[in-house]
Amino acid sequence: MLFRLHPTYRRLNAYVDGNLDPKRHRRVTRHLMQCVRCRNVVRFFEDLRQVIQTIAADVPLPPEGLLEEIYATRDSGIRILLPAPDDVANSPQPRLRKTTFPYTALRVAVVFFLCMLVNPLDFLRAGRGSLIVTPSRPQIGDSIFVHYEPATFFAGYATLRLRGEVFYSPTNYHTQFLAHLVLAKDGRYHGTFAWPDSAVFIRLVVEDSTGRLLDTNARRLWEVLAHGKDGHPLFLALYSRAQALYATHWHDFVSTARSLVRLYPDSPASWRIRLQEDIRRHGLEMTAPFWDTYRREFRRLEHLAISRGYDAQTAAELVLLASTLRDDFAQTRWLERLYAVDSIHDVALVFRALNILRATSMPAADRLAMLEKLWQADRPPYRREIADIGLRIAQTANDSLQPLRWAKRYVERNPRAALSVARALIDNPATRQDGIRFAEDVLRRSETHILWPRPMLVSTTRHVEEIEELRSYLRVEVGLVTFQHEWLPDHLDTLWSAAQNIWEPAAFTRIADVMARAGDTRRAAAILARAVVDPVLPLSQRDSLAAVGLALVDSMHWSAALANAERAIQRHVFQPNVDIHLASGLTIREHPRGSSRLLRKHLDEKLHLVAFYSCACEFEIGSIPEFVTVADSLKHLGIGSLVIGFPEYADSLHDILTQHEFSGPLLLDFNRTVADAFHLVGSPTYFLIDESGIIRFERTNPHALVRPAILWAREKARGAGQDLTISSVP
């Protein structure tokens, strides 16, 4: 079995480490044989190991003289008692979660109850009932009896509805109500419907009377194929099933493809689907050895068609098979025959469109005009392909209208491609703005895309991934582009909604940065707050620094943000006097929720936070107690103290110094004489110098140019000591 998607990063890691069991190891190995992307990741890991070994080998030897130092230390009588690594008594045990049966049972019960409470229908949807169709091999025109036995948890509905996705051909299908299912005494539901005329394949689901899905057979649906009189499924039934399951239900698709070849070996379509399966399974390169078989079959089918006579459809199928086989000569040969039989056959139109696509020497406008004629030929089945080609040509045109027109046509016929089309439009500078609007529209409608019947028809996982991919693209590229173009405000909502659905701290900061620069600080704060309140996310220094700063301003999770701020401090995330790049310009003290009060209440005991606080909201006075303590301890030595600060804090400073009964000599540079003379910038700087001019204590912003000031003060101290003892507190 192959991976339908790439192996996870974790699994690739485990593969490199050799931690996978043999079965999984084989699966990853097989995937790597055909996936360049994953192979590159693995190769990166292996290269990493090799380069690491070269670095590791270069670590210098222990410094010279260390052994003598060790002897000297021991000689001086010093002994260091170290814990042994296997000293169980001294070593803390790894934190292991102990789970006992009663607690597990209790948890299961609570989860069950909550599921029922939150959305009983969604919960019930997970339950899978049993649906039996009689006759089991229906023929077109038969009456179909349905017996449905619901899942264990499911009860209470008197009647249910049976809805079907009815295929008339691989490309012609729609959903329709089929039958009411009535509850019988045996606890099962029964219903009847007539097989729709000319339908070949039906996929069934059960819904309630309001149309809400109740049972989808775990998203596999119940499938019913029309059978012939010989008891085999009809060719069109199998063909429709194969097309419906392609890229979504791999195993079922494979079995269908094989059934087609077994039951209908004379149909080119059977072999084409079988070849598609092989190519998808082994990759194009690895399929090559099998192609001799397919080529032999192609020659047989060709001979058969010529000997029996062929119609347009057979010729078209042979063209498609030759194309899948990459046999250009055979393809041209049968294309000419197709043109001769039916020049406006769907396949003929598509190949004409492909020729137009390849005619790159012609101006794009002319090619689009030719394609428009094909489009107007009104052959619905292949309009999707023509629209796709039109979009590709339009992307090269210097006309912003054409790409949008063809994009809409294409998406109308292939909604699954909406996201990739949006992205392609954004990539094109000429259609970037239209593309962004298109993408926003797609995202708005993305919820409806995954409504029934889409979940059963497309891989939901893949769809969600596509949405995430586009969101990722939007949040980074669109955010920055729109900012540059100064029409960001129109798109803040998009970024905001994107932020609700992503889980990467780096993306948080990127979006928040854009939002903050656009002036929407409230939402920027809320986005960043998630970086600290979400336990899943790593609490890296950058994110938490910015996030906590902003969370203090406006957080949806106020108490959690504070708790995380404390945790971040305990993890030594914060540094004193580090400005918060995103929080600058925000005034915490003016916030209506009283952040400064709460902050003090929770954290004023902590030195780091005092500094952080003082920087963030410019309450420099917050670090005065430190200053006072140091100065107080030194005053009996006759030490001079210098304070460079802002005059508006003079009263507070007076109060604090009085409260601490500090009466030492001070130089208060409230007029910024020193600061201006020495171009001090940033936060106020505090330092104490003793009578010898030695700096005993300093607290400053890292950006402040304090060294000249310190030198100056030292000079003053040596020259005229009175400069340092000008006054006490004003």
Partner 1 sequence: MHGSPLSSIIQRAIADDREALAILYQRYSARMYRVACHITASHDDARDALHDIFVGLPELLRKYSGHGDLEGWLLRVVARRALMVVRRRNRFPEFSWDELIIHPSVDVDIPTLNRVTLERAISRLPDSLRIIFWLKEVEGFTHEEIAALLETTISATTNKLYRARRQLQNLLRTENDA
Our CB check for partner 1 shows the closer of 77 and 309 to be 77
Distance, in Å, from the CA atom of 423 to the CA atom of 476, rounded to the nearest integer, reads 13
Structure tokens at 287: 């399929």
Torsions phi, psi of 183, nearest 5? -75, 125
Our CB check for partner 1 shows the closer of 504 and 691 to be 504
Q: Residue 74 Cβ, how far from partner 1 at the closest point, in Å?
A: 6
Our CB check for partner 1 shows the closer of 36 and 158 to be 36
Contact 658, 633 (CB under 8 A): no
Distance, in Å, from the CA atom of 728 to the CA atom of 666, rounded to the nearest integer, reads 6
Our CB check for partner 1 shows the closer of 39 and 635 to be 39
Q: Residue 579 Cβ, how far from partner 1 at the closest point, in Å?
A: 10
Using CB under 8 A, list all residues that contact partner 1.
9-10, 13, 37, 40-41, 43-45, 47-49, 51-56, 59-63, 66-67, 69-71, 73-74, 78-87, 91-96, 472, 476, 504, 506-507, 509-510, 538, 540-542, 545, 571-572, 575, 578, 581, 702
Q: Residue 484 Cβ, how far from partner 1 at the closest point, in Å?
A: 17
Our CB check for partner 1 shows the closer of 74 and 718 to be 74
Our CB check for partner 1 shows the closer of 141 and 538 to be 538
Q: Residue 68 Cβ, how far from partner 1 at the closest point, in Å?
A: 10
Distance, in Å, from the CA atom of 644 to the CA atom of 666, rounded to the nearest integer, reads 10
Treating both helix axes as pointing N-terminal to C-terminal, what angle do 607-617 and 558-570 enclose, rounded to 10 degrees? 120
Our CB check for partner 1 shows the closer of 572 and 636 to be 572
Our CB check for partner 1 shows the closer of 372 and 468 to be 468
Q: Residue 622 Cβ, how far from partner 1 at the closest point, in Å?
A: 19
Q: Residue 70 Cβ, how far from partner 1 at the closest point, in Å?
A: 5
- Angle at the Cα of 25 from the Cα atoms of 23 and 29, rounded to 5 degrees: 120
Our CB check for partner 1 shows the closer of 82 and 117 to be 82
Q: Residue 594 Cβ, how far from partner 1 at the closest point, in Å?
A: 29
Alpha helices in 398-488 (DSSP H): 401-413, 418-427, 432-449, 454-457, 460-473, 479-484
Our CB check for partner 1 shows the closer of 68 and 197 to be 68
Identity of the residue numbered 662? F
Taking phi first (over 0 means left), then psi (-120 to 50 degrees means alpha), and beta for anything else, what does residue 6 get?
beta
Our CB check for partner 1 shows the closer of 60 and 585 to be 60
> Which residues lie closer than 8 Å to 261 by C-beta, 6 or more apart?
270, 271, 274
- Angle at the Cα of 679 from the Cα atoms of 674 and 682, rounded to 5 degrees: 100
> Which residues lie closer than 8 Å to 39 by C-beta, 6 or more apart?
32
Contact 653, 628 (CB under 8 A): no
Nearest to 623 by CA among 549, 723, 698, 548: 698
Our CB check for partner 1 shows the closer of 208 and 504 to be 504
Our CB check for partner 1 shows the closer of 91 and 143 to be 91
Q: How many residues in the chain?
A: 730
Q: Residue 474 Cβ, how far from partner 1 at the closest point, in Å?
A: 14
Q: Residue 568 Cβ, how far from partner 1 at the closest point, in Å?
A: 12
Contact 324, 298 (CB under 8 A): no
Distance, in Å, from the CA atom of 511 to the CA atom of 521, rounded to the nearest integer, reads 11
Distance, in Å, from the CA atom of 592 to the CA atom of 598, rounded to the nearest integer, reads 12
Q: Residue 629 Cβ, how far from partner 1 at the closest point, in Å?
A: 18
Treating both helix axes as pointing N-terminal to C-terminal, what angle do 432-449 and 401-413 enclose, rounded to 10 degrees? 10
Distance, in Å, from the CA atom of 418 to the CA atom of 463, rounded to the nearest integer, reads 10
Q: Residue 705 Cβ, how far from partner 1 at the closest point, in Å?
A: 17
Structure tokens at 20: 């996978």
Our CB check for partner 1 shows the closer of 610 and 717 to be 610
Q: Residue 693 Cβ, how far from partner 1 at the closest point, in Å?
A: 26
For residue 229, the number of C-alpha atoms closer than 13 Å in the C-beta half-sphere is 0
Q: Residue 483 Cβ, how far from partner 1 at the closest point, in Å?
A: 15
Q: Residue 43 Cβ, how far from partner 1 at the closest point, in Å?
A: 7
Q: Residue 679 Cβ, how far from partner 1 at the closest point, in Å?
A: 21
Q: SS3 for 220-231, per residue?
A: CCEEEECECCCC
Torsions phi, psi of 422, nearest 5? -60, -40
Hey, what long-range contacts does 414-419 have (CB within 8 A, 24 or more apart)? 414/384, 414/387, 414/388, 415/449, 415/454, 416/458, 416/463, 417/388, 418/442, 418/445, 418/449, 419/446, 419/466, 419/467, 419/469, 419/470
Structure tokens at 188: 């099962």
Our CB check for partner 1 shows the closer of 362 and 476 to be 476
Identity of the residue numbered 166? V
